[in-house]
Amino acid sequence: MVQRAVRVSTANGGAGGVKPFGNVTRGTTNPNRLRRVDRWLAVPQAWRLRTVDPDDRPLVVDLGYGASPTTAVELQHRLAAVNPRVHVAGIEIEPARVRSAKSLEHDGLSFHPGGFEIPVAGNPVMVRAFNVLRQYDEADVPAIWATVCARLSANGIFADGTCDEIGRRSTWVALERSGPVSLTLSLKFGAFSAPSDVAERLPKALIHHNVPGEKVHTFLQALDHAWWEAAPLASFGARQRWIASCRGLRAAGWPVQDGPARWRLGELTVGWSAVSP
The string of pLDDT tens digits covering residues 39-53 is 999 999 999 999 877
140 pLDDT higher than 90? yes
Rg (C-alpha) for the chain, rounded Å, is 19
The string of pLDDT tens digits covering residues 234-254 is 999 999 999 999 999 999 999
* Cα gap 40→183, rounded to integer Å: 12
User: Which among 190, 132, 136, 138 is positioned nearest to 163, based on CA atoms?
Assistant: 132
Contact 21/115 with Cβ under 8 angstroms? yes
Query: What's the pTM?
Result: 0.91
Is 218 in a helix, a strand, or coil? helix
Task: Label residue 160 by pLDDT band (50, 70, 90).
Answer: very high
107 pLDDT higher than 80? yes
Q: What is the mean pLDDT of the chain?
A: 91
Containing H/E element for 179? strand 179-187
